[in-house]
Chain A
Amino acid sequence: MAVPDAGTAAADRAGAPARRVARRPGRAFSVTRLPGFGLVAVTVFVLLYAPIATLIVYSFNDAPTISVWGGFSLRWYADAWANQQVKDAALRSLLIASFAAAISTTVATMAALGTTRRGRFPGQTFIYVMINQPLMVPEIVTAVALLIFFAAIKVATGYQGLGYLILAHSAFCVPFAYLPIRARLESMDLSLETAAADLYATPWQTFRRVTLPLMAPGIAAGAMLAFVISLDDVIITEFVKSAGQDTLPTYMLGKLRRAITPEVNAISTALLGLTVLLLTAFFLLTRKRG
């Protein structure tokens, strides 16, 4: 999984003067002047985007195949829109993603406050690693672990609802929400809260009036990232879901096993559109300062 880390944005800003130095003509090493740079760059972009472009183009295909062009049409979008299973799966995906984003962002906000609004403390690195655990453990391991764990609970309680998926998604979304929030908090001077306390603000007022408004862009960015990550998950969902709990990605996977029609392209394109929208908002939020 690619991790669009808000920390990179911060690092870019810090590196800006250095880059200006490197751009001075005849000075310093620059990878852009190596032979073949242009070719490699173009190849990489083609490999990255050609498949997605093809997917989008064929979502407008009039023919019932994903490889032969039969003219422009929106019929697959109409089909997908009319398909009750798609609607159910999409709603389920949005529901799970909303809950998972809300829960994981709350947890991540508290974790980020606890790890940054203070001096260095023993075990800090260990805590960071613990919080970011889902980024490092192979997803399939987590999926199997959750399957076994939840199976035991299902037997014990008899509860079969969406709660398991929401919990599972919340858990693996925490580090994605945590990273941008932590990056935001680390850019905020600790003396701001000290100053608020000095100006008669109680700890709650300090949080409400100073810390929270200043970290809000980080929280929003974290929530969006968590939302997108949850929306997109296949592996853990596939293992944890009960019968009739397909999300959009697992529904598409199931459908691809039988017949492949451009309807899948249409759903994918819609999902891509939503994701691009959210990630653009995320980027703008993490870029804007103060």
Chain B
Amino acid sequence: MGQRSDGERNVSEPAAVEARDTVKTFGAGEQAVRALDRVSLTIRRGEFFTLLGPSGCGKTTLLRLIAGFESPTAGAILIGGRDVTAEPPNRRPVNTVFQSYALFPHLTVAQNVGFGLEMLGRPMAEVRATVERMLALVKLEAMAGRRPQQLSGGQQQRVALARALAPAPQVLLLDEPLSALDLKLRKEMQGELKRLQHETGITFVFVTHDQEEALTMSDRIGVMSAGRLLQVGPPREIYNRPVNRFVADFIGESNFLPGRVERGAVRLGSGDLVSVPGLPPEGTAVTIAVRPEQVRIGAAGEPGTIAATLTDAVYFGTDTHCHLALADGAEVVARLQSPPSGEIGLAPGARVGLRFAEGAVQVLGD
């Protein structure tokens, strides 16, 4: 499943995190809900791995299983090659940044950051030195003596990060840590997180429902839906070669056109033929997917183009989204870069010819 780039690593080095056939069921009997359905996943050492999916897809459950806050109904969790399935959270070499931050309100910022090391029984001098280093890392040296309630949301977020990084865990788990921040702060923290991951070399497992966040920050992404892991791969692969319609639809936007395999090409409902490599046998019903930015608009009747009519053009600043209707009424959206004038020079009702960029058409199984 889209894991072409996997398995080239040194085999002797154990994975940072491994989930084996993990099942998690909540409730019992008729009301039982399967939050995770036989999920197997390998997260490599030192990578920024993102679990992406809509709310309720099981991504947070998987994170909680890795942290040890829940135990799996079936399957195993390994951290650094060691089976920790039966271990409580305090014996696992991972730390978590909680969505709600969960900072201790009765402790100062410095005490919060030092909590993990103190529980590990490290000498006070080491704790103090590490706390200082961590606060410098997240640029909060001046706030050491404050209480969490006296900090802004962004500062609390950074304290939560410092607290989780201080014990130098093998893996840092981040549960939608940016969702409570406003857009500008979120962008800033995205960069900050990447920088921290780079500087510490710690494996990050990041949970989000924001596809843009996932694409910009991750080394690899695992896309989840309804308790299943649908696809694992680097951002470019997830975006350009989605394994199914859900992934193509959830990550970015796509045009989906149903058709049938005919003479080594796909015959669309409009009657047009689209040539795509690697098709299933003749007569198979398929859906092709094309990203809006890979649709080119040319003059009507140009050879090799698909006849379409412009129904609407929506101006988005940098882009203009052209809504087009094929002969059978099927809708295709093309995203054009807006020219300096802002006018694309086409009015609704204009007849045009469509082309899909080379290699941009995906054939999806359902």
Contacts and interface: CB of A to CB of B under 8 A. Distances in A.
A199 B116 contact: yes
Contacts of B98: 191, 194-195
Contacts of B167: 199-200
B116 A290 contact: no
A197 B89 contact: yes
Given A198-B67, A199-B95, A202-B90, A192 B102 contact: yes
B181 interface: no
Contacts of B68: 197-198
B252 interface: no
B88 interface: yes
A192 B160 CA distance: 12
B35 to A, nearest CB: 15
B323 interface: no
A198 B96 contact: yes
Interface string A43-83: 00000000000000000000000000000000000000000
Interface in B78-93: 88-91
Contacts of A196: 104, 115, 119
Interface string B307-342: 000000000000000000000000000000000000
A197 B90 contact: yes
A199 B115 contact: yes
Chain A interface secondary structure, helix, strand, loop or mixed?
helix
B284 interface: no
Contact of B105 (A191, A199, A200, A214): A214
Contacts of A195: 96, 98, 102-104
B69 interface: yes
Contacts of A194: 69, 89, 98, 102
A212 to B, nearest CB: 10
B185 interface: no
A213 interface: yes
Interface string B100-131: 10111110000000011001100000000000
A31 B164 CA distance: 51
Contacts of B116: 199-200
Nearest to B99: A191
B87 to A, nearest CB: 11
Contacts of B100: 189, 191
Contacts of B149: 290
A198 B69 CA distance: 8
A192 B102 CA distance: 5
A201 interface: yes
Nearest to B95: A198
Contact of B119 (A192, A205, A214, A290): A205
A192 B149 CA distance: 14
Interface in A176-216: 189, 191-192, 194-202, 205, 209-210, 213-214
B147 interface: yes
Contacts of B24: none
B228 interface: no
Most buried by B among A199, A201, A205: A199
B291 interface: no
A221 B159 CA distance: 31
Contacts of A214: 104-106
B163 interface: yes
A214 B296 CA distance: 62
A92 to B, nearest CB: 38
A214 B103 CA distance: 12
A97 B56 CA distance: 52
Interface in B247-299: none
B289 to A, nearest CB: 40
10 contacts: A191-B98, A191-B100, A195-B104, A196-B115, A196-B119, A197-B88, A198-B67, A198-B89, A200-B90, A200-B167
Interface of B: 67-69, 88-91, 94-96, 98, 100, 102-106, 115-116, 119-120, 147, 149, 163-164, 167
Interface of A: 189, 191-192, 194-202, 205, 209-210, 213-214, 290
Given A199-B95, A202-B90, A209-B115, 16 more contacts: A189-B100, A194-B89, A195-B96, A196-B115, A196-B119, A197-B90, A198-B68, A198-B90, A198-B164, A199-B115, A199-B167, A200-B116, A210-B104, A214-B104, A290-B105, A290-B147
4 tightest A-B CB contacts, nearest first: A199-B116, A195-B102, A191-B102, A200-B119
